[in-house]
Amino acid sequence: MKKKVLSVLLATTVVASLLAGCGSSAAAPAADAAPAADAAPAADAAAPAASSGGATYALVTKSAGNPFMERMASGFQEAVEASGGTVVIQNPEAATPDAQISVVQSLISQGVSSIAVDGNDANALTAVLTEASNAGIKVLSLDSDVAPDTRAVYCNQAGVQQIGETLMEAVYDLTGGEGDWAILSATSQATNQNAWIDAMKKLMESDSKYAKLNLVEVAYGDDEPQKSTDQTQALLQNYPDLKVICAPTTVGIAAAAKVLQDQKSSVKLTGLGLPSEMAEYIGDDDAHSCPYMYLWNPIDLGRLAGYTSIALVDGSITGAAGDKFTAGELGDYTIEEIDGSTQIILGPPFKFDPSNIDEWKSVY
């Protein structure tokens, strides 16, 4: 008898704690979803040419719990709310395409006007995004692209070529024009990283300026601090003449920066990193491992996607190359055709160095 009571009590505690745990996270999407469901029929009734007033604009991020995504979402929200639209922001629990598929499906049934998606996989979302387009929803991508024929336009943080050139120039500058350097990337199948690395490799072949630079290895830290640390240490030990490591990934660059700084290594670091993660390591003197690095502004990227969503919904652009529109305070943008797909490029990557890092480290 006593045992039974105890097990019932235990079961109740578990269920209660489960509910408590879910409570706060479950409440948020529900609150988001409610106005969306209300707004949807209104948008339908007002015909496609409706102004941004009654429309609902959705953003699907890569995953929850990531400050970069959070800043991107805040820019998106700001842009849309400034023009009177309703915003739905969905953060999938995990950075997987399956999690995004179920999120997009629920947005379709809510009847939103547009969906901006930061793809976790280039092709896995094809079916569900086609379904969304067929339902009359404007689909666009940002940050990480999806299959080009499933979306109207891609808001690209910076052109692949631009990033390749910027990073290559940084490596050239930090090595002094000659010597060994290495790349520390995320996973070996990360679309973004591979495109940037390829662009850098092509530049080294085509431009004689980089002829004296020797890329010794592309290491993969899988965006895990522990593995990135192992890989950085291995680079240092395998190549005693190494001068520069270039890490075009936020987790990798932070792990590498710590290894280099802790070991007081003379190897210098550059790449793409979050200012808040990297503030500790950025400096011109020997005590700091990273003289400067780059990234784009996630808030502006979110804003650009917000203005693009509005322009697509009100019909001022269709997503064809050559379409022009004004993205609020960001200025005028033209849709470009790059490698057979339509893109809007935010701008050149932003440089973070000792002069501006203090002001940016608290932003993101």
Applying CB under 8 A, which part among 170-178, 230-238, 285-293, 345-353 lies near other proteins?
230-238
Q: Give the 3-state secondary structure of the chain.
A: CHHHHHHHHHHHHHHHHHHHHHHHHHHHHHHHHHHHHHHHHHHHHCCCCCCHHHCEEEEECCCCCCHHHHHHHHHHHHHHHHCCCEEEEECCCCCCHHHHHHHHHHHHHHCCCEEEECCCCCCCCHHHHHHHHHCCCEEEEECCCCCHHHCCEEEECCCHHHHHHHHHHHHHHHHCCCEEEEEEECCCCCHHHHHHHHHHHHHHHHCHHHCCEEEEEEEECCCCHHHHHHHHHHHHHHCCCEEEEEECCHHHHHHHHHHHHHCCCCCEEEEECCHHHHHHHECCCCCCCECCEEECCHHHHHHHHHHHHHHHHCCCCCCCCCCEEECHHHCEEECEEECCEEEEECCCCEEECCCCHHHHCCCC
Contact status: 296 vs other proteins (CB under 8 A)? no
How far apart are the two ends of the chain, measured CA to CA in Å?
Answer: 57
- Note whether 12 binds other proteins by CB under 8 A: no
Nearer to other proteins, 7 or 102 (CB): 7
Distance CA 253, CA 264 (A): 16
User: Considering only residues 33, 122, 124, 279, which one is a binding residue for other proteins as defined by CB under 8 A?
Assistant: 279
Contact stretch for other proteins (CB under 8 A) within 33-41, 153-161, 256-264, 337-345:
256-264
Q: Does 27 bind other proteins (CB under 8 A)?
A: no
Choose the stretch contacting other proteins; rule: CB under 8 A; options: 48-56, 112-120, 275-283, 314-322.
275-283
198 part of the interface to other proteins, by CB under 8 A? no
- 341 touches other proteins (CB under 8 A): no
Is residue 18 at the binding interface for other proteins, with CB under 8 A as the rule?
yes
Nearer to other proteins, 188 or 355 (CB): 188
Among 17, 102, 123, 326, binds other proteins (CB under 8 A): 17
Q: Which of 62, 258, 288, 303 binds other proteins (CB under 8 A)?
A: 258
Q: Which is nearer to other proteins, 204 or 278 (CB)?
A: 278
Under the binding rule (CB under 8 A), the answer on residue 363 touching other proteins is no
- What is the closest distance, in whole angstroms, from the C-beta atom of residue 164 to other proteins in the complex? 21
Q: Of these, 56, 141, 144, 231, which contacts other proteins (CB under 8 A)?
A: 231
Residue 96 found at the interface with other proteins (CB under 8 A):
no
Using rule CB under 8 A, residue 234 touches other proteins: yes
* Interaction site with other proteins (CB under 8 A): 6-7, 10-11, 14, 17-18, 21-22, 24-25, 64-67, 69-70, 91, 93, 188, 219-220, 225-227, 229-231, 233-234, 237-238, 254-255, 258-259, 262-263, 276-281, 361
